[in-house]
Structure 1
Amino acid sequence: MTPFMHSNRAVSKVDIEEATTLKEVGVDTSQVMNYLTQQAGGYHNVGFTHKDLYNALQRGKAKEIVDGDMNALIAYFDYKKHDDPEFFMTYSVDESGALYNLIWSDSTLRSDYTCFGDVIAFDTTYKDNLYGRPIMPIVGVNHHHNTIMFATAIISDETSQSFEWVLQNFLEAMKNKSPISVVTDGDRAMQRAIKSIIPYAKHILCSWHLSHNAQANIGDPKFTAAFSKCMVSWWTTKEFDVQWRLVVSEFNVEKYPWVIEKGNIRHV
């Protein structure tokens, strides 16, 4: 497990250059990761995870955003404030002045949070935008059991620093009212940010996202089905641990970075 400890993981310059070239000809990040893994002789040799590769590529892509784009977006939000004095928006820039992180919410969303903000959920699966940046909707559920939006953020990467920035400014927008529970897909960087910024909130894992990520990272429908069954079964902690080890052993996935990571946080 040592190569996948956070302190030991790094994407080399050579790997980034090769990955960037593949991305430019239309290869998606998952396929790039599979290629680099094969080149290295297996997941235990590659030295980084899919998320590490994604973040490394995003840091390069962030530099492509020009000042004009940032200025136009900020100008639009400033215009929104004239119609909605309670409209909230804040952003950060990098050392070159390019837009780095951004979050916004309007008066209706902020009012909804006052009423329904005990439980929030957020993820960064929405990357289908001009620059491929993670879009991070922060949502909840109202008294009609409908999903409602509280705020939206666009972040430069999926690091704990970016998530901390979002949570800090989200709390500012919501007058420092902390949620009681936060539902996530189990991302470790997100988990660290939650513990840092809202330490008293209960962190709950979303089973749908975990199943989706199991398929994306392992690629075996039978493993995904067995993994999903583990999550929805009414087992004690000890019983779950036994079943988890059986599933991991049965499908011979002990050395997959995703399996190692989820094994470390299975009791969150």
Structure 2
Amino acid sequence: MYHFMDQASSFSNIGHTKKDLQNRLDAVRRNELQYSDADCVISYLAVKMVIDLEFFFEYILDENDRFGNLFWADSTSCSDYGYFRDILAFDATYKTNVYRRPLVMLVGVNHHKSTTIFGFGLLGDETVATYTWLLRIFLVAMHSKMPQFVVTDGDKAMHKAIKTVMPNSVPRLCCWHLERNVQTNIQDRNFTRAFCSSMLTYMTVEYFELKWKNMVLKFRLNNN
């Protein structure tokens, strides 16, 4: 940045700020996947298909012929989804990898109440089109078997993609984000504890509605 200042005599003459430069560098890092790395990934996954006959992967290139989106799932993931597809949850690890790309894990819960992984997606961005591609490829890998419920973090692009690709699946917000919403909007620890207890306890619809009504009255939230 100081090099530009020396060339232009002052910061005001540069035409962009330090933040603009940082944003540009971030965009380059996010969109650029080295060809050597991409080749290694594809070669590795191709070998996995030889070893694991039910292994599945798919990828696309962007308009500049760069690595765009990638999805993969092994035979165990595909088999588990066949048994435990009641709930499909998205766990997005946002830009924590070296390429600063969204890494999405598609997971569920097995009969031991443990997390089971159905597949992974390394995405170029978080648009409706990209999430739509991910869900469609996921269903191809899973032989078009639809989940009953889809749990997300409330991302609008993801929600639209679910409505398009899985119209009969019921979308749900994850418990963690519901709790965070309560903390942000109500700001009452006692209510948050009561809310979480009700949310995580099995009960009939009728009993929950009665308990909810009593909670609203107890914490004087009638006008919220």
Measured against the shorter chain, the TM-score band is 0.7 to 0.9
Q: Select the structure that is richer in strand.
A: 2
The CA distance in 2 between the partners of 1:176 and 1:16, in whole Å, is 49
The CA distance in 1 between the partners of 2:69 and 2:47, in whole Å, is 20
- Match of residue 63 from structure 1: 31
Change in Cα spacing, 1:65 to 1:140, as seen in structure 2 (3 Å) is same
SS state at 1:124 partner: strand
Indicate if the aligned counterparts of 1:186 and 1:210 stay in contact, CA closer than 8 A.
Answer: no
The CA distance in 2 between the partners of 1:75 and 1:16, in whole Å, is 41
Indicate if the aligned counterparts of 1:67 and 1:97 stay in contact, CA closer than 8 A.
Answer: no
Amino acid at match of 2:175: S
Match of 2:102 among 134, 138, 162: 134
TM-score normalised according to structure 2 size? 0.74
Whether 1:161 and 2:133 are equivalent positions in the alignment is no
Amino acid at match of 2:71: I
Indicate if the aligned counterparts of 1:117 and 1:140 stay in contact, CA closer than 8 A.
Answer: yes
Indicate if the aligned counterparts of 2:88 and 2:106 stay in contact, CA closer than 8 A.
Answer: yes
Whether 1:112 and 2:80 are equivalent positions in the alignment is yes
The CA distance in 2 between the partners of 1:133 and 1:244, in whole Å, is 43
Amino acid at match of 2:212: W
The CA distance in 2 between the partners of 1:138 and 1:70, in whole Å, is 22
Amino acid at match of 2:19: E
Once superposed, what is the RMSD of the aligned Cα atoms?
3.2
Indicate if the aligned counterparts of 1:137 and 1:149 stay in contact, CA closer than 8 A.
Answer: yes
Equivalences for residues 1-268 of structure 1 within 5 A: 18-21=19-22, 60-211=28-179, 225-226=187-188, 229=192, 232=196, 234-235=211-212, 243=221, 246=224
Please state how far the C-alpha of 1:226 moved relative to its aligned partner. 4.2
Change in Cα spacing, 1:190 to 1:222, as seen in structure 2 (3 Å) is closer
The CA distance in 2 between the partners of 1:165 and 1:225, in whole Å, is 38
The CA distance in 2 between the partners of 1:98 and 1:107, in whole Å, is 28
Considering only CA atoms, is the larger Rg found in Structure 1 or Structure 2? 2
Gaps of 5+ in 1: 1-13, 25-56, 216-220, 247-268
Amino acid at match of 1:21: Q
SS state at 1:143 partner: coil
Change in Cα spacing, 1:143 to 1:21, as seen in structure 2 (3 Å) is same
SS state at 1:130 partner: coil
TM-score normalised according to structure 1 size? 0.62
The CA distance in 2 between the partners of 1:70 and 1:98, in whole Å, is 9
Deviations 1:132-166 (A, max 9, x none): 11110000000010100000111111111111111
Q: How many positions carry a matched residue from both structures?
A: 191
